[in-house]
Structures are given as structure tokens and as C-alpha cells.
Amino acid sequence: MTKKSILKNALIPSIGLALLTISSASAMSFGHMNINSNATHDEIATQQTTMFQNQATMLGLSVDEVKTAWASGKDLKTLAKEKGISLDTVKQKMEATRLANQKTMLSTLVTKGVITQAQADQRLATLSTKTAKGGTGEGRHSGRGWGMMGW
């Protein structure tokens, strides 16, 4: 074997390993939350705080109760069940919250001139139809709603 051949045979697997490592690292997330790897510590803390507050509001619990459940590894479904909260009620509240968030996002896009009001209205109607038919809507991940608590 020539030096060139040995170098070539050693270099190809090394490049493959490097590419695999880079793609794995970029696909990582903070728990179930997809946090940009460039997020600051403050942004991570704000996102987590907001998630805890949203979950507490939705379930009618204190933020401390949600944090305690999260710290012990409980998902949102288990917490709701333990607190005697109907899963149907939680699902309805989640959908209402999701729809309200979509309305806010669409309003911002209209205000910023990204889309027209007609496009926003059409998109909202499409999302409402999907929800009414039992669809999950865009931006939701199977088995993962509401961040690190899961759903």
C-alpha cells in the first residue's frame, strides 16, 4: 500500500465520523424543547419559565406544583390525572391556547407586512378546520406538546 492509499483510507472514515458528530450535535435539544444552540442562558430560562406558567394556567395549578411534577419526571398527562383533571378538558384548553397563539402570530405577520389579512384569515380558517376534524395542526410533534412535560 502506498502512503497516499493509506492516508485516503484513514481520511474517509474520519470525515464521516466528523460529519456524523456535527449533525448529531445540531439535532440536540434541551429536553423536549427545541432550543437554538445559540440561545443565551436568559433565553433558555425565559422559555422554561413561560412553559411552566402556561402549564400551570392551563391546569389551574400553581407554578410550583408544575415544577415539582416536572422535576420528578412526570408528564403533563400524569400530572393532570393525579390532580383529577379530565384529559379531555386539558386537550380542549391546549387547542384553545394553540389557536390563540396562532391568531397572535398571524396578526404579527399581517402587521409586519409579511402576509395580507386575507391570507391570515384563510390560514386561521384552515387551522380551525384541522382542529375541528381532530387534526393536530402544524407545528405539533407526536407525543410532544407543551415542552418538557410532554403530551
- Could you read off the pLDDT of 29-80 as tens digits, one per residue? 233 445 567 889 999 999 999 999 989 998 999 999 999 999 999 998 899 9
C-alpha to C-alpha distance for 107 and 55, rounded to whole angstroms: 24
Domain ranges of the chain: 1-30, 40-149
Answer whether 102's CB lies under 8 Å from 124's CB. yes
pLDDT at 67: 97
Grid cell locating 136: 393536530
